[in-house]
Every structure is written in structure tokens, then in C-alpha cells.
Structure 1
Amino acid sequence: MNAVVFDAAAFLATASNKPGVYRMLDEQGELLYVGKAKNLKKRLSSYFRKTGLSPKTEALVARIRQIDTTITANETEALLLEQSLIKQVRPPYNILLRDDKSYPYVYLSSQDQFPRLGLHRGAKKAKGRYFGPYPSAGAIRESLNLLQKAFQVRQCEDSYFRNRTRPCLQYQIKRCKGPCVGLVDPQEYAEDVRHSVMFLEGRSNALASELSQSMERAAEHLNFERAAELRDQIALLRQVQDQQSMDTEQGNVDIVAAAVAPGGACVHVVMVRQGRVLGSKNHFPRVPIEQTAGEVLAAFLPQYYLGVSEREVPGEIIVNAVHDDFPVIIEALAQARGFGVTISHRVRGTRGRWQGLAVTNAEQALAGMLANRQHVQARFEALQEALGLDEPPTRLECFDISHSSGEATVASCVVFGPEGPLKSDYRRYNIEGVTAGDDYAAMRQALSRRFSKLKDGEGKIPDILLVDGGKGQMSMALEVIQELAIHDLTLLGVAKGVTRKPGLETLYLNDTHHELVLPAHSPALHLIQHIRDEAHRFAITGHRQRRGKARTTSPLEGIAGVGPKRRRELLKHFGGLQALDRASVQEIAKVPGINKKLAELIYATLHSD
């Protein structure tokens, strides 16, 4: 039996350009290597270049059979997640880790009259507050340096602090207020500590607002020296807000997001413990019919949490969609685990950010799965069997029409091959000269323009031509194909069922009398749905671009003799295009700089329809 080879080209074609963490697995599914990247696609591409790899990297690449990715909001979060995974699993190829130090924290002592700030690693034995974890000691030093400039809270060791008889250099350069020798009032110092805590808790906006109000009050009382100090503090806060993962000492949460598309679904689970993202995993449940994200979640949650007795259930589960069965699921989870569980949907702040990341990862993973070369090939083979073709098709084209009440009609043509979408072959056709809203005439024009080029030897003939729209559009396409005498082309019409629900489509093969209905779980139907939805998306995008361009372009532009100055005079005189459109030639001629001949040209242009 031949070993499965990792298809790097197909994987990289759908890889994200966002920051995140990647996990390389071997044939048994064992983790080989964990890495982070500012740009996942660029970083992963570097592993599969033809030359320049080290022997270690070549050995790693030879063992790769699967790569999983988790998208994060920024590179800092990617670093924290990478380090968490390395500490938990210790992959064999992460051999460059030189030490196993714990994450660094900012420590604020609480037992002192004048608390101090400092960097802390290891067990949290000392009384006080710990802020973090931070990705590196350098990140902490940067924050401490900023706090020292802004609020001048001491950072010296207690032994040094207790033995001072005169202020040190930090006082001289205005980095400390000299609490060691009683040069600052305890209440003023406590206020500086409170402001430092607000910053460390991530409440920089509230802190800046509070300082701004204090600055205004100081200026009103003519205390300009104090106002200047507050101004400098605000300026420092606005300079940098370090991206960090804050440990709230609470917040055991699972974020479960579902993404659904023709042909599959993905549920991405992110685990957050003690306020920190520990890891995530993709699940690809089989869906017998195209369902909503809420329906997928309602089926997934009980199986995921109740199907495995040792699986931890957090106090809160954040989802990206709702379903009527959630109250029952909450009750079942509470009975099974012995404590209350909540399912949240509308969340803000940090939880909203976690939810967004889970949705992004679910959508990315599903897109990668659907675009997988082996997966697409299997769907093409299923389509061959469903349509009774002699061999698998190699080129599929699908046409769709988009407009708004007949305005800015655009036809799209998308192309799929065994490797997935062939976007270089996509085409759009701006439809002109047809009755507004006449989709049949629009389809005739698009097909005629596309296939008339075949007579001149231009373009490729598809194996299957898909037309979205039912019997009417199918008949129109059949007429065009017959008029142009195009042979060896399978025509497939796609009509939505009575309920118009995906998965219940009716297909017409080569004529309107040959109906075909495929099972909702059929890979061939999933391929047809995928192509149809892509054609619809591409048509809508083109239509919106054309409509937006038409609506942002003045109808006065392009009229000979009407430049920017005369356009301004016309709009100023009439107050807008609507009033100008209602004006007569004589009224237009009254505008300064507009003679009767030019007024007639303007009138004719505005009423050309």
C-alpha cells in the first residue's frame, strides 16, 4: 500500500495570510512541530521550497502528512499559544527551546505602604497582584518603563528601599517620587498605584479619560505645572498599548463556532482556561443536508460534551449561532456535570474577540477542507457517476445573473477543475441593450458572448455547462448552444426545489424533460452547490461594483463642454441633480456660463433614456 503524500500545493493555496500557530503532524497523527507566524501562508511556504532547507527541516518535511492552523488576532497571541502547546506536548522537532521558564508577570506588592512594581517568574507565593502573562520579559520591561515615566511608582527591591537615607538617581530623573525618604504623600502615591493598575488591567481608555478631566480641572485652577504633568502622562499612554494576554484568574470558557457551506461543515472549538487561550481543534461533522450553523451546533454540543465522560465542561460556552434546543442542552449539561452551564451568543470585549477568532478559524478550516485536491477529485468522480459520463469532467463552467430591479445587470462565469476553482478563468459580462429585469435575455447575451469566441479558436470548451435558474434559463442556454452548433458539451440546469432549501435542488440534464434529483448527502450535489454559490457570489460582487461606480459618477461627467467649474455652477444653481433633471432647456440656459446650445446638449444627455 502506497504511503499518503502531503499535498503541499493544495494546502498552501487555501492557507491564510493572517498571524497564527501551525501544527505539523505525521502519518499517525502525532504532533511533530509547533510554530508561530506573522503570516501563516508565507511561513508555511518556506518549508516547501525546492532549495535552501537545512537537513533538520528536510527530515521534518518528509514526515509531514497533515498541517493544522489556528488563526490569532496578532503575533503576540500566536506566541503565547505556541508556547502553551510546546509545554503541553513537547513535539520532537521543537528542539531549539533552550529553557522551560514560566511566563513572566508584572507583580504589584500589597503589604507595603508604598507598593512596588516588578517582574516576576515562578510560583505566585508573595502577597499582591499579578498581571499577565506576558510573551517575554522584554514586553514587561517596556510596560514597566512606561509606567515608571508616567506614574513614578517605585520598582526597587524592598531591601534597597528600606535602607535609603536620601533619594536615588531615579528621583533625580523623575522616574520615582522618593517614597523611601518621605518625599511623597501616601494618598498621592496610592493614586499613582491605582492609575498603574488601571493601565495593567487594560483600561487605558478609561484612564486617559480620567487624566484628561484632571488636567482640565488643574488648568481651570491655574495649576499649569500639574496640568503639564497630566498632559505628559496622557501622551505616554497614547503612545503604546502593549498587546498582551491578560490572566483574569477566572474565565474558564469554551468557544464553539460552526461554519457551513455546500459540501460540509466545520466546528472549531477554542479552549480558554483562566483567561488564557490554551488550544483549539477543528471538527468536521457529517451533515446529511445543508443546515444552519445553529442546527449544526445543536447536534454537536451534546455529542461533544456528553459523549466523553472525562471531558471538562466549562461554566460558559460561547457560540456563534443560536437554536431552540439550547435550553434543553444547558439542562442536560448541568445534570451531567452537577453545576450550572451557560451558553452565550451576544458577547463583547475579550469574549467577542475570542468568538470572532473561532469563527475565522472555522471558516478557514472548512475552506481548506473543501478545496483539498483529493476531496475535489472525489466530488468530480461522484458527478461523473451521477450524470452517467464516460470519464470524469475536467472543466466545469457555471453562469449566473445579478441585478437590482434591472439596474447594472452583470453575468458571471466561474470555472472549476479537478484542483478546485480556476479563478484566472473567471469572467464577468456587463449586460447592455436588454429589457431591464429580463434574465433570459441577459443569459442569452452572456452565453453568446462567451461561446461565440470558440468559433474563432479562442477559449476552452467546458465538459459541463451549469446554468442556475431552472427550466427557463435551461431552455435559453440550449437555444444558444444549438445556434452556435457547439457539440460535446453537457448542459446541466440547476433549479431550487419548492422549499428553496439547499439540498433539495432539481437538476435538468441536457433538456428540460430529463429531471434528476440527487441525495442531499451526495458529493456530486455538493460540488454543484459549491459552483453555483461561487457563481452567485461572483455575479453579486460584479453587480455591486458596477452599480456603485454608476451611482458615484455624475451623469454630467463626459458631456463635452461641461467641466468641473460648470458642473459646480449647475448643481449650485439647481441645488442638486434631481432639480436639474426636472429643468427645461430654457431654465438650464439661465445658469452662468451655459448657452442655449450647451443647455440643449445637457438636457438631451440627462433624458437620453
Structure 2
Amino acid sequence: MFVFETQNYPTSPGVYLMKGPRGKILYVGKAKNLRARLGSYFRGDAGHTVKTAALVARVEAVEVLLTASEKEALLLESSLIKKYRPRYNVVLKDDKNYILFKLDKRSPFPRLAFTRRVVRDGAAYFGPFTSAAAARATWKELGRVFPLRKCGDRAMANRVRPCLYHFIGQCLAPCVKAVDAEAYMALVRRVEAFLTGRSAEVIKNVEKEMAEAAEALAFEKAAGLRDLLKAMRRTVEGQATVLTRLVDMDVAGFAATAQGVGLCILFVRQGRLLDRKTFFFPGLEAGEAVWAAGSALTQFYRPESFIPPRVVVPEALAPEAGGDAAGADESPDDGGGEGQGDAQALAEILEERRGAAVRFGAPRGREERKLLALAEVNARRAAEEAAKAAERDVLPSLAAKFGLPLLSRIEAVDVSHLGGRGVRVGLVVFEDGAPKKRDYRAYAFPELEGTSDDYLALASFAAKRAATGPPWPELLLIDGGKGQLEAVARALDAAGAGGAFALAAIAKGDTRAQNEMHDVVHVPGRKNPLALRPGSPELLFLQRVRDAVHEFSIGRQRRARNKAGLASDVLASPGVGPKTAKLLWEAFGSVAAMKAAGAAEIAARTGLGPKRAVSIATVLSQLPD
């Protein structure tokens, strides 16, 4: 049990890290007066919420990091939360930057490209889009309307003839000087006008062109223009007009429910509601809603994010608020007005990250108040829907089966090789029941070539995983039986990570029903498998995780094998060096696909010149099947 001694902590601003068993970080917080803030946790009857009381009961040590100001403390807190993802903090599970359109007007022939990072480079950015599929569909429709180049700068510089997009009317072919720069920039200005809300004039011009085509009896062209009009209206006019002013702003609203706190951020661009993003933080009480929303916004607006000039938040989150505000802690207030200071610090951080002024505060005027109410309605709905899904979620039941307090992050591992060649150990990650593909990893062990030793491969993986460190999973699932489980457990103990997380192995067992083998789950220290009924939701979920890692590890092993075969076949060909082989590999993936492509397709997909492509196609045709 942690004993708080007042004299050990300063009264200056900073960040504190509450640690539990084995030094695991349970919570990261900040304060302008560390002594007062920490004292509020550990005095007698502090009136804590259930969540805070559970946290305090598990604390074994507290480490503090001093900062020069509240703003620095807020920045450091956000950085540490992202790094350690503590169990008792509000952590954005979906913390990626969203897709934006980028129009770099510094180029003599700009193109409309995708990006997830905003850089102060003079380019124009449009978005964001929370759905990558919706962004790509919009980009495709815009490409049909506005024939800007699609290829990158490198491909354009190496082209000697137009690509396919030019021949289907979706590119003006600046690569071969088929259009002069002035005419091209006129088209760029039309694209910018369309994306900045002046779509009516563009649509009007297309309508006029369609009418002229119909009068000239060019019905095929008129029909194509008609389809383009429909696409544009789906893309732009389908967005609700919510402001009479053509301004960009984000509107963040939150709602507390019996199940937790919901947060919704509306993206308004040029007076139109472009998109929205919702978050849900389960298990929080109404008194923690302001703290949760403030902490989430601090993590949401990162340096590479698109930040509009206006961000509307409820009064409780605004810098001018009289009470608690953004980032206020859920523990009893220390009387220092920390919440209000955090909101002002967040406003300053947004301005620094945007590189220009940001009006961060409560709604002004009827239109902004209506938008905030809409955001709050969406936040409440998101919380209610997430709560219903959680009721059906198998994770709490599965956690109880393993004797764990919770089961949020699951990692699964499997070994794949072909007769001992191309050894790959695949690792997949599930968070809150869903795959987290950006955390998938494939480990290569060239020193194990020819061994066919799965136990040794898993032990080698365990040593690497222990060295990687947090975030730890609550459970590591191994595709295998008791032998594989023991190999991983011994390796983790040897690496000093034994007990950092629970272990389990899933394999075909002795249980038979209707002449079929069923999967069983083994855990360390238990002779018999866990009592998981065949066909139960818990076992089906574990099988889904096992199947995901099995497919991933086999795919990576095949990919490595194909790449090795490609390297040996293609690099052995005269006139093909490593760079060219890499281009061919990325474009086709196999020798058979290259040989079937021919010179024209090789040139189109790699950006190589036609003579070079013909030479390579000739070399490839001479390779054995």
C-alpha cells in the first residue's frame, strides 16, 4: 500500500505517474501544484468515484516529472499517455490522423494527393475524411470531373508518353507537355473553388456543357456529363449546409450516460457538415465527463493534424469557463482552478500546432449553438450504441475465464515455415475485440533456417517481444499446444518479462463430438484445458484471433519466399539491378505476373521508359516458367 508523504513532493507544476505491481504505469496525470493534487488522492475519505478509488487501491509508487508551466505539463501528459496507454487514463483507441486532400500549388502542375499529415509547406489541405473509402471515392469522382495528373513527381519526370488516364479523358498529360501551364493552373483554380465550397459555379458550368452537348446531338457525351453531375451532387450537395458563412470549424460535444461518456467532433468545412468522428469511454461517471472530453481533445489535435481556425466546445471546456474545464482531473479539485488553466493551455497549444490563430471556446450565435447541440446528440447516441455493443461483447466473460480484471489488448503469435526455410513468426493484435492491423508484426529469424524447430522460434520471438516492452497485452495467445506454451513461458521468464501478461495456447484437443476434433485452450500451471464449451462465444472469439494470426504468418512467410525467389530469378537476369528489381516486385509481386504483363504494362506500372521496359520484358521472357 502506497503511503503519501507530503514533504516528498513539490508545489510546482508537473506530471505524476502512478505505478502498480511490477512498476506498471496505471495512470498519468498533471497538476499545477503536484503536492496538493497528489494529496487529494490519498487523504482519508476523499469521496472518490468508483474508478478513482480502484486506482488508488492499486498504487504502489508515484513518480513525478517537473515542468516549467501548466502548458508544458499538459503536453507532457498527452505524450506519456500516448506512449504508455495507462489503464485508468482516457486513451484514444483510434488515434490516427484522418485522410486529407493535398493540393501543392508550388508545383507547376499540381495534383490532388492523399495525406494524413499537415505540413506548413504552402499547400492547400481539404478534409478531413474519417473514412478512407469515402475519401477515395470522392477523389475518383473529382478525377473524372477535373483531369489533373494522378502520377507522382518521380513517375511524371520519367514518362515519355501519356498514361492511360489521358486516353480516357482524366488527365491533361502535363508529363508530355500536352497542356500549357496557364491552362492547367486554371483547372487547378476550379478544383480549389470546388473544394472550398464554391461548387455551385462548377456544377452550373457542367450543366451548361451538358445542355450544349445535347443540342449538338452528342448524346453519349451528354450522358457522361449527366453522370458526373450526379456524382458531384452526391459528393458535395449531399453535405448538409449548417452555416450561412463559408467558414471552417470543428465542433466538439460530449454526453454522459449510465454506461460512460460519449464524445463527438463535427467537421464543418466552408459552412457544410463534411464528416464526424465519435468516441466512447466506458465506465466513467457524469462527474468525469468534462475531464474525459478535455483529455481526449488534447490527444486528438496533434502537430500533424488539420486544425481549423475555429474550434467550438461546451462552456465547461472553454478557457473563459468559471468552473472546471478541459483536462480537469476526476479527483477532488485542489482549489487551484486547474481545469480553467488547462483549457487556456490547450488553446495555446492548438495555435502553436496550427501556426496561426485558433478561436477556441464556447459557441457564439444561434448557428454555433445548434451545431454544438447536434454534436451532443451524436455523442449520446454513440455512447448508447457502444454500450449496447459492449453488452454483447465477449471480452468481459473471457476475462473472467482467465481470471483477469479486464481483457482489452490481446496479442496472438504463430510460426510459419516451409520445411525449415523462410522462418517467420507472425504477431497480430486485437484491441477491444477488433483487429489493430497497424500493430501487426512479422519477425524473421535467419539464424533458424533449416531447423524446423517451432519451440526455438517461439522462444526467440518471446525474447524479442520482452525487449520491445509496453504496451503489454493482457493476454498472449499462442497457436499451439502445451509444448509451445511452455517454450514461450520459459523464454519470457529468462528475459525478465514473466508475469507481465497472461499466456494461453489454443490447439486441437482430445475432446471429440460427432467424430470431430475441437479446439482446447491451455494455460500455464493447469493440467486440464480451460472449461470453454465448443461453439461458445468465448471459444469462437479465440478461434477468430488464432485464425487471424495463422493467416497473417503464412502470408508473410509466402511473401518472403516469393520475394527471395524473385530476387534470385530477376536479379540474375542481365541488365536488372536491385532498384529495378524492387520496382518490379512492388508492381507485380511474382515473375509470372511480370512475364504476362508485357512491355507496355511494365512501363505504365513502374514508370520506366519504353525502351527500358522492352528490354526488361525481353529478359523476363527468357526466364524458365
The TM-score normalised by the length of structure 2 is: 0.31
The TM-score normalised by the length of structure 1 is: 0.32
Which protein has the larger Cα radius of gyration, Structure 1 or Structure 2? 1
The one of the two structures with greater contact order (alpha-carbon pairs below 8 A, sep at least 6) is: 2
